[in-house]
Structure 1
Amino acid sequence: MVFGDWKSISVAIALGACFPTPSAAADINMRVCFGDEQPFGCPVSADAMFGCDRRPEDTFKEICSKIENGQRIQLPYRAAQQGNHSGGACGYSWYQLTCIGG
């Protein structure tokens, strides 16, 4: 199946719909889960869900960035793995992600 660039759409949804633009100095905290991209697939509640083919570090960089004057600016972030669980096609792992100074 081809759905276009659904990976970018997932990131855009996570950034725009779930996390409105905060004040300039506010940190953004969220739980991000990786595994089968099925509804309620992650064994814990998560703010954003990404598939087996996503690298956590690359995804964190995408989420913790912003566009200013037409240029993408990388924000500092902290990510701590909170757990993992077997199941599905690749298992599940989830992280607490903090984008600093969002």
Structure 2
Amino acid sequence: MYKGILTATVAIVALLPNMTSALADTTVRFCIGELVNKCPVQVQAFYTCGTSYEQAAADICTVYIDGTKKVSPFRLVKQGTHEGNQCGYGWAQVTCLD
């Protein structure tokens, strides 16, 4: 089932080799903590304890073009923290830039 989706995605990237960033102006809210269901806000991505905000943002803004890894520049806005579980919870919003 997923193989067809992955193949289609790779084909789209291959057709756009001059594109500087497939994620330009994409905004994602993410959470860092121990348990995804304990993050106190709704998010599109989750990272486990020990991940820095910068690592998570770079991961979200990474694309592969013609087999080459490219981390797009990004704008990172830390939005809040909450104590709890093993390492607490922090959430932020990242916008991948062109």
| Cα separation, 2, equivalents of 1:56 and 1:67 | 21
Q: Provide runs of 4+ in structure 1 moved above 4 Å.
A: 23-26
Q: Residue 30 in 1 paired to residue 28 in 2?
A: yes
Q: RMSD of aligned C-alpha atoms?
A: 2.2
Identity %: 36
Greater fraction helix: 2
Shift, 1:30, TM fit: 1.0
Unaligned runs of 5+ in 2: 1-8, 14-20
| Correspondence list, 1:13-92, <5 A | 24=22, 26-36=24-34, 38-92=35-89
| Cα separation, 1, equivalents of 2:22 and 2:60 | 16
TM-score normalized with structure 2 length: 0.72
SS at match of 1:40: helix
Shift, 1:26, TM fit: 4.2
Distance 1:84 1:28, change over 3 A: same
The letter for the 1-side match of 2:48 is: G
Deviations 1:1-60 (A, max 9, x none): xxxxxxxxxxxxxxx9xxxx9x95741111110011x24210011111111121221221
TM-score normalized with structure 1 length: 0.69
| Cα separation, 2, equivalents of 1:27 and 1:83 | 22
Shift, 1:63, TM fit: 1.4
